[in-house]
Structure 1
Amino acid sequence: MDEMRLSFCLSPTAGVVHEASLQMPAGSTVEQALAAAATALPQFADVIHAAMPGMVGIWGKTTDLKHLLCDGDRLEIYRPLTVDPKIARRERFARQGARSTGLFKRQRPEAKAGY
C-alpha cells in the first residue's frame, strides 16, 4: 500500500474543532503531515507551523515530529493550558466549600470535616 489516509484535527478555541482528511504517501512523518495539513487548512497555517513537538500527538498521545505515521492515524494539535489543573481544582474546591462536594457531602453526624 503506497498511500495512507490520515485524519487531522485542530481546535483553535474551546468548543471549535476543525478536521481534515489527508492522503499521504506511506512512510510519511508527522512533520510532513503537518506541512500537508497547512495546505489543506490554509486559515490555520500559522498555528500548524508554530506547533511544537510537545503539542502534537496521535490519538491523544504526544509524539515527536520524526515519528512515522500509519494508515488511519488521527494527528492532533493541542492548545497550551491556560490554567494549571491543580490550581483550578483548589480554587473550585475553595469556592464550593468542603461540606458540599465529593466525599465530604455525606458524612456521619457530628463528624469532623473531611472524615
Structure 2
Amino acid sequence: MADPLIDIEVAYAAVDDQALIALQVPVGTCVAQAIELSGIAERFPEVDFSQCPVGIFSSLLASPAEHVLRAGERIELYRPLLADPKEVRRLRAAKAAQARKVR
C-alpha cells in the first residue's frame, strides 16, 4: 500500500520572479526533502537553497532537516536583503535633514 500524501507549498520570491509550487509529499517528509522534491533549484539555478533561511508561514526554522511537514504548510525560502533597512532609514533621515537646512 502506498504512503498517504499531504498537500504543501514551496514559495520563493526573487527580485524579478516568484514561484509558489504546490505539491504532494508522503507523510513524514521533512522540509529539506520537500524543497528538493519541489524542483525549485532547477527554476532558480543561481540560488544556493541549502544556504537560504527557511520558514513555515513566516516562522523561521532552526533546522529544516528536522521539521516534519503537516498538511497545508507553506515552506518559505528567504533571500538575503539587498540593503539593511536600518541603514536605509538612517540615510533617508540624513537626506531629509539636509534638505531642511537648504531651505
Bin the TM-score by the shorter chain. 0.7 to 0.9
Residue of structure 1 in register with 2:84 after alignment: 84
Residue of structure 2 in register with 1:58 after alignment: 56
Residue of structure 2 in register with 1:11 after alignment: 13
From the two aligned structures, give the one with the greater helix fraction: 1
Q: Which runs of 5+ in 1 are unaligned?
A: 101-115
Identity among equivalent positions (%) equals: 29
Aligned residues: 96
Which one has the largest radius of gyration? 1
Residue of structure 1 in register with 2:35 after alignment: 34
Which whole-Å CA distance do the structure 2 matches of 1:95 and 1:51 have between them? 39
Q: Which whole-Å deviations, capped at 9, do the CAs of 1:34-74 have from their partners, x for residues lacking one?
A: 11012x66222552x5332x611110111122211110001
Provide the TM-score with structure 2 as the length reference.
0.77
Q: Alpha carbons of 1:46 and 1:24: their partners in 2 closer, same or farther (altered >3 Å)?
A: farther
Q: Alpha carbons of 1:12 and 1:51: their partners in 2 closer, same or farther (altered >3 Å)?
A: farther
Which whole-Å CA distance do the structure 1 matches of 2:75 and 2:30 have between them? 11
Q: Which whole-Å deviations, capped at 9, do the CAs of 1:64-111 have from their partners, x for residues lacking one?
A: 22211110001111010121111111111112239x8xxxxxxxxxxx
Determine if contact 1:10/1:17 at 8 Å carries over to the other structure.
yes
Determine if contact 1:9/1:74 at 8 Å carries over to the other structure.
yes
Provide the TM-score with structure 1 as the length reference.
0.70
Q: Which runs of 5+ in 2 are unaligned?
A: none
Residue of structure 2 in register with 1:20 after alignment: 21
Describe the SS at the equivalent of 2:6. strand
Determine if the alignment matches structure 1 residue 2 to structure 2 residue 35: no
Q: After the TM superposition, which parts of structure 1 deviate over 4 Å for at least 4 consecutive aligned residues? A: none
Determine if contact 1:3/1:25 at 8 Å carries over to the other structure.
yes
